[in-house]
Amino acid sequence: MKENKTIKMIFQKRTIREFWWAGRMGHSIYLTIFLGFINFILIVYNFLIEGNEILENFISEIWVFSVIFLALYIPVSILIGRWHTNTQIHVDMELKMYEDPILAKMVRTLLDVQTGVASEKEIIEFRDMILKIEKQDNDKL
């Protein structure tokens, strides 16, 4: 009976953490973009269009300005994103790889095994660490 409660608690904690993570991702990726668009459109319309007689003649409604803004902004952001993906992202990933402590430990352990420096205990710890990582990934599938 106690084992059942423990499994239920672990499941609840994991579920809460997954909901928390999903909420953070939804907020930081999608909602902030949407709110940022609205904020930017309102600010630019207020400072650039309102009170400017010339521009008010062409763009009298905020929804017209919003459509024009999005029609220009979305293609430009896609072009910049494609440029970043093609030219910069591999540099970002490479720099992150050099900071990854798990990768560093794995490479060091592999080198130690190849050169005979690693003890049997270190090899077992390394294998256990890899198995834990693999198990985490499989639990998500």
61 and 8 in a single domain? The answer is yes
- Pair (35, 60) in one structural domain: yes
pLDDT tens digits in sequence order for the chain, 141 residues long: 555 665 565 567 778 888 888 889 999 888 998 999 899 999 999 998 888 888 888 888 899 999 999 999 999 999 998 998 888 888 888 888 888 887 888 788 888 888 888 888 888 888 888 888 777 755 453
What is the structure's pLDDT at 77?
A: 92
Separation between Cα atoms, residue 13 and residue 19, nearest integer Å: 10
pLDDT of residue 114: 85
Angstrom distance (rounded) from CA 59 to CA 46: 12
Interhelix angle for 101-115 vs 120-140, to 10°?
140
Residues 107 and 73 in one domain: no
Q: How far is CA 139 from CA 7, 129, 135, 136, in A?
A: 14, 15, 6, 5
DSSP sequence for 81-106: HHHHHHHTHHHHHHHHHHH-HHHHHH
Question: Is residue 10 in a domain?
Answer: yes
Q: What is the pLDDT of residue 141?
A: 39
User: Would you state the pLDDT for residue 55?
Assistant: 85
DSSP letter (8 states) at residue 132: H
Q: How many other C-beta atoms are found inside a 10 Å radius of the C-beta of residue 109?
A: 19
One domain for residues 74 and 124 = no
Domain of residue 24 covers: 2-88
Provide the number of structural domains found in the chain: 2
Kindly state whether residue 95 falls inside one of the protein's structural domains.
Answer: no
